[in-house]
Amino acid sequence: MLFNTPQYLLFLPLVVLVYYCLPKKVRYIWLLVTSYYFYMQWNPLYVTLLFSCTFLTYLCGRILGSLGAENANMQEETGAERKAALKRKACLVVCILLNLGILGFFKYFQFGISILNRLLSVIHVDSVSWGNDILLPVGISFYTLQALGYLIDVYRGDIYAEKDFLRYALFVSFFPQLVAGPIERSKNLLVQLKTPQSFSYENLRKGALLVLYGLFLKMVIADRAAVIVDTVYQDRAAYPGFYVAAATVFFSIQIYCDFYGYSTIARGSALIMGIRLMENFNAPYYSKSVKEFWRRWHISLSGWFRDYLYIPLGGNRKGRLRKQGNLLTVFTVSGLWHGASFSFVFWGLLNGVYQVVGDVFSKIGKRFFEQIRKRREDRENPEEKAEEHFSTVLFRTIRTFLLISFAWLFFRAGGMMSALRMLESMFSQNNWTILFDGSLYGLGVARNYMNVLLGSILLLFIVDYQKYHGKDVADVFLKQGWWFRVSGIMCLLVAILLYGCYGELYDIQQFIYFQF
């Protein structure tokens, strides 16, 4: 069941209505039933994988809880405590390996077979045949990481081991964020599920507004931009040079609005029921560095890798070279998490290289400009920190956007060889005039729809500018006069209905991150 379908727009109100009619102590059971129903709309058989992940991590969590919390001071441990610590580690490792094994089979088995066959062809050995295609279960990468995060938190003593299996099952399968995040932490979501809230009109208003804005991002911007991107990427011979560059920039907008739209609908759906999911995006395209971008993009995944991989590897505590190696490792793993393809691995590695290079040059630049900045501060006001000029901020923001967009090409291309061919096509012609002569209107989107798309993107960047500066735009909007609120909501509805649902070239599009 997709968020951008009439079925979901009927499903959500029904779930909410029954939810608030039930006593608080049994509401979570209703949400669990509806969450499993929601997931089974894709493939009922794969609900067994969701249940297996839930059962394994629940059982391991109970065992970890019974063995006590981790002792930070190893020297003070008694013999019995050391044995308990070994049992805890063994339990944790076994459960992690089992869950990652299931994820690896469905997501990377065929990728591994293809690599093996390439190696066998080099030494002239017959390839290994695998006759059956493995269908990737929707959301498996997300709920697996969420369950493993809970398990590690229990192991560290950061969260209690949940005793109620049904409540824990809801934590893993909560339908708004089940298939594409945000990857919630147990300290946030699990605790909220234990203490359901009463109905709140303010939560209803804000939640419904978030759902509406998320649909606008997905159906008006992302799905329209997808037409342009697909037109160019599927026929690079007909659209070389700056067509590829323009399509790649549009893909940067498409993937942002597609994933941000999903996360916004998820947050809104949960908020209507009084459950606050974490913010997954925070105006990432206003970032002034790649490092800042990854603090603002897919925040739940970045935070997961930071807390459960980067820091355990040593983080930045083992010296600069170790820090840079850890960064490259984390981003390479992140690329592999996104997909079983060398292009995804390279995309992740490239983002890691961006950060390593940026870190090196920031140290050099800091030393170079230190004296100039100090003199300026002393001359103007020694008590105030000098602010960056607008031109500097603009340059750094555009530079970061272009670097990120270049990396997105490898993400979108569908394979490493396809990405290299797209790069070759992009640099094959210097046809920069197509950006200004109206040629972009011939990329599958009619002129009037293209103008609506460009206007919608402008609205997106205005909203994100306010968000970048710490304002909750939804709260600000809801505090305005009734005529302003009604006008704004009607404009979003009209845009969705005319240019999203019933407009030219309309087709219900799956969210991009469902494939991960």
Which pLDDT value is given to residue 113?
A: 80
Which pLDDT value is given to residue 386?
A: 47
Clarify whether residues 375 and 303 are in a common domain: yes
Which pLDDT value is given to residue 377?
A: 55
Q: How many domains does the chain have?
A: 3
Clarify whether residues 244 and 298 are in a common domain: no
Which pLDDT value is given to residue 503?
A: 54
Q: Is residue 1 part of a domain?
A: no
End of a domain among 174, 196, 218?
A: 196
d(CA 169, CA 70): 25
Clarify whether residues 52 and 172 are in a common domain: yes
Which pLDDT value is given to residue 466?
A: 93
Total residue length of the chain: 516
Clarify whether residues 46 and 177 are in a common domain: yes
Q: Is residue 393 part of a domain?
A: yes
Q: Is residue 461 part of a domain?
A: yes
Clarify whether residues 54 and 167 are in a common domain: yes
Q: Is residue 310 part of a domain?
A: yes
- Full residue range of the structural domain in which residue 120 is found: 6-71+80-196
Clarify whether residues 388 and 417 are in a common domain: no
The candidate with the shortest Cα–Cα distance to 440, out of 249, 237, 236, 246, is: 246
Clarify whether residues 18 and 153 are in a common domain: yes
Please tell me the pTM assigned to this model: 0.90
d(CA 53, CA 36): 14
φ, ψ of residue 370 in degrees (nearest 5): -60, -45
Q: Is residue 97 part of a domain?
A: yes
Q: How many CA atoms lie within 13 A of 275 on its CB side?
A: 30
Q: How many CA atoms lie within 13 A of 180 on its CB side?
A: 20
Give residue for tokens 């690599």: 115
Clarify whether residues 152 and 211 are in a common domain: no
Contact 509, 4 (CB under 8 A): yes
Clarify whether residues 33 and 158 are in a common domain: yes
Which pLDDT value is given to residue 116?
A: 80
Which are the contacts of 95, defined by CB distance < 8 A and separation ≥ 6? 56, 57, 59, 60, 151
Which pLDDT value is given to residue 121?
A: 77
Q: Among positive and negative, which fits the CA dihedral 172, 177, 178, 179?
A: negative
Which pLDDT value is given to residue 414?
A: 84
End of a domain among 161, 196, 231?
A: 196
Looking at the annotation, which residues are catalytic?
Answer: 338
Tens place of pLDDT per residue across the chain (516 aa): 788 888 899 999 999 999 999 999 999 999 999 999 999 988 888 899 999 999 999 999 999 988 876 655 555 566 777 888 888 899 999 999 999 999 988 888 887 887 887 787 778 777 777 666 677 788 899 999 999 999 999 999 899 999 999 999 999 999 999 888 799 999 999 999 999 999 999 999 999 999 999 999 999 999 999 999 999 998 888 898 899 999 999 999 999 999 999 999 999 999 999 999 999 999 999 999 999 999 999 999 999 999 999 999 888 887 788 889 999 999 999 999 988 888 999 999 999 999 989 888 776 656 655 555 565 555 555 444 445 678 888 999 999 999 999 999 999 988 899 999 999 989 888 888 888 888 888 888 888 888 899 999 999 999 999 999 999 999 999 998 989 999 999 999 998 888 876 555 556 677 777 666
Contact 413, 422 (CB under 8 A): yes
Give residue for tokens 């509406």: 212
End of a domain among 410, 431, 446?
A: 410
Clarify whether residues 510 and 421 are in a common domain: yes
Clarify whether residues 133 and 12 are in a common domain: yes
Clarify whether residues 86 and 132 are in a common domain: yes
